């Protein structure tokens, strides 16, 4: 994924051409391309379509798209970013994402960069003119999302981004720049957002362990986001322990970054052993839902994990930097809730119409919808995850956080259990939250889940205010001003 295009080079008014003579500099560039560049792109897949005129395109990128036949309005959208020297069609052919687009029902957007932007056709994740919100390549990718949402009627609450190597680093950029656009992301052998500001620091981030505190990493995301206050994307992080191209320590720093953004502990809520020597660690949010997941693959070198085969959890094809361990695309889709149980839909029943919010309280949202012909029951989804099943056309979701916004869809289920297409999305916000106060020592505040500790210090969940040392002797009062959001209130608290 090595970036080799000088950050100050003019990029839009002329094509950047690198010299061919076998100079020392050219030799270094060629070696880097071999090490980091991933396999050369094959001919464009016939099932992909290039889109032109999707926006002002300040990043000088190409847009390719794939959508299953008869894709309904309101389906999810996944953006997939290739690695250095790869192409959109190469990533489409090997990664397995097209299988799940067909199986679960969502559209794919595959941005593509070229050597006119970067000598090795890497996304310029380290270059400020491209990694800043509203500029360059970052804006071009966002314009592709806008085009796809308009063209396919994609659900704006279910837009996701993933990428490998330099594409993984650019995924970090997109999640930090546009948390208002992406509900989730998956960083495969990538770099934390805000690690690099130029070519030199980009190489440092790639090969070395750039160790920052969770607070510093979280601040990088918050600073890039344009003032966004949440909700934040749910992020999966994939890394091989034998990777000599991207230092595996980057995965730890990415975990620290996104758990801090979420205001949750860097200690996993659970760990699971998966196929291919993969260890999955899950970090739950305040409601017990996975917010961050890491997938560490023992011994895997630099590349994207695939697992060719016909089973539901198998995908992709092997090749240079496409390595046979586990189908990362399947587990990422499952984490995002795109699988059938999460609402992707495999049956032929139409989407229910007329989904309406009929009432809210501090902790509940009530819904109703019109009956769908042939339905035996209905699945109800909150934020893309199934939360209930009913035989009627109404449902009340309970146990919610006060003063919190939620999104809902419903899908009809036939008598054989096949789930049809999801409805369009509605949003509901529960009524105001009654502040609560808790006075205790820092150790007990962490144990109770109101704060978290990092490097010997304690931080309030939500506000991330520094509460001092992690011990039994420092006491603070925390006020929960919203569900899971705590601020220091030592000077007084509402009764």
Count of CB atoms situated within 10 Å of the CB of 491: 6
Of 105, 236, 229, 218, nearest to 163 (Cα)? 236
C-alpha span between 160 and 101 (Å, rounded): 13
Give CA–CA dist 214/217, Å, rounded: 5
Active-site residue, from 165, 225, 265, 454: 165
CA atoms of 377 and 271, how far apart (whole Å):
34
Q: How many CA atoms lie within 13 A of 279 on its CB side?
A: 10
The answer to whether 430 and 453 have CB atoms below 8 angstroms apart is no
Strand pairing report for 49-51 and 62-66: antiparallel
Cα separation, 184 vs 164, whole angstroms: 15
Structure tokens at 292: 């961050």
Q: What is the 3-state secondary structure (H, E, C) of 298-322?
A: CCCCCCEEEECCCCCCCECCCECCE
Q: What angle do CA 197, 199, 203 make, to 5 degrees?
A: 100
Which token pair is 217?
Answer: 């990493």
Bridge-based pairing of strands 290-297 and 278-284 is antiparallel
- Per-residue burial over 141-172, b if 16 or more Cβ lie within 10 Å, else e, is bbbbbebbbeebbbbbbbbbbbbbbbbbbbbb
The answer to whether the CB of 65 falls within 8 A of the CB of 97 is no
Task: Identify the CA nearest to 372 among candidates 352, 356, 389.
Answer: 352
Residues sharing a CB contact under 8 Å with residue 343, sequence separation 6 or more, in sequence order: 337, 379, 381, 384, 385, 386, 409, 411, 419, 422
Q: Which residues, including other chains, have CB under 8 Å from residue 234's CB and lie 6 or more apart?
A: 183, 184, 185, 290, 291, 292, 335, 336
Structure-block tokens of residue 349: 């029943």
270 tagged catalytic: no
Phi and psi of 255, rounded to 5°? -60, -45
Residues 361, 401 contacting (CB under 8 angstroms) = no
> What Rg value do the Cα atoms of the chain yield, rounded?
23
Q: Which positions are annotated as active-site residues?
A: 165
């Amino acid at each position: 994924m090595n970036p080799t295009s000088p950050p100050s080079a003019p990029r839009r008014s002329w094509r950047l051409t690198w010299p061919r003579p076998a100079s020392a500099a050219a030799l270094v560039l060629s070696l880097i391309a071999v090490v980091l560049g991933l396999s050369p792109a094959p001919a464009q897949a016939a099932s992909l379509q290039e889109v032109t005129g999707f926006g002002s395109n300040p990043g000088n990128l190409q847009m390719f798209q794939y959508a299953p036949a008869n894709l309904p309005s309101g389906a999810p959208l996944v953006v997939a970013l290739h690695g250095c020297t790869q192409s959109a069609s190469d990533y489409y052919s090997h990664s397995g994402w097209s299988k799940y687009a067909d199986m679960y029902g969502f559209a794919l957007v595959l941005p593509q960069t070229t050597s006119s932007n970067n000598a090795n056709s890497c996304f310029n994740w380290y270059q400020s003119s491209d990694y800043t919100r509203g500029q360059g390549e970052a804006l071009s990718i966002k314009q592709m999302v806008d085009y796809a949402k308009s063209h396919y009627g994609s659900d704006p609450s279910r837009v996701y981004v993933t990428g490998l190597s330099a594409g993984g680093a650019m995924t970090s950029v997109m999640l930090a720049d546009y948390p208002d656009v992406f509900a989730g992301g998956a960083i495969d052998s990538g770099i934390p957002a805000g690690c690099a500001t130029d070519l030199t620091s980009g190489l440092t981030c790639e090969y070395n362990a750039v160790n920052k505190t969770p607070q510093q990493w979280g601040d990088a995301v918050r600073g890039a986001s344009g003032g966004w206050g949440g909700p934040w994307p749910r992020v999966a992080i994939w890394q091989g322990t034998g990777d000599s191209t991207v230092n595996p320590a980057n995965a730890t720093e990415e975990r620290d970054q996104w758990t801090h953004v979420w205001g949750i502990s860097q200690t996993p809520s659970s760990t699971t052993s998966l196929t291919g020597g993969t260890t999955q660690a899950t970090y739950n949010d305040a409601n017990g839902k996975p917010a961050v997941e890491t997938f560490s693959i023992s011994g895997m070198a630099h590349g994207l994990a695939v697992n060719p085969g016909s089973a539901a959890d198998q995908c992709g094809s092997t090749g240079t930097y496409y390595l046979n361990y586990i189908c990362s695309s399947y587990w990422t889709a499952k984490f995002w809730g795109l699988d059938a149980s999460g609402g992707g839909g495999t049956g032929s029943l139409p989407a229910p119409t007329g989904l309406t919010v009929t009432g809210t309280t501090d902790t509940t949202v009530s819904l109703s919808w019109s009956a769908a012909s042939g339905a035996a029951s209905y699945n109800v989804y909150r934020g893309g995850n199934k939360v209930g099943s009913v035989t009627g056309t109404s449902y009340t979701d309970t146990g919610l956080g006060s003063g919190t916004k939620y999104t809902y869809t419903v899908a009809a289920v036939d008598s054989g259990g096949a789930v049809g297409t999801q409805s369009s999305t509605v949003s509901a916000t529960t009524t105001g939250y009654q502040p609560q106060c808790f006075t205790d020592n820092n150790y007990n505040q962490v144990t109770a889940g109101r704060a978290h500790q990092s490097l010997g210090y304690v931080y309030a969940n939500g506000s991330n205010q520094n509460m001092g040392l992690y011990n039994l002797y420092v006491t603070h009062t925390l006020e929960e001003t919203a569900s899971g959001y705590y601020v220091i209130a030592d000077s007084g608290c509402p009764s």
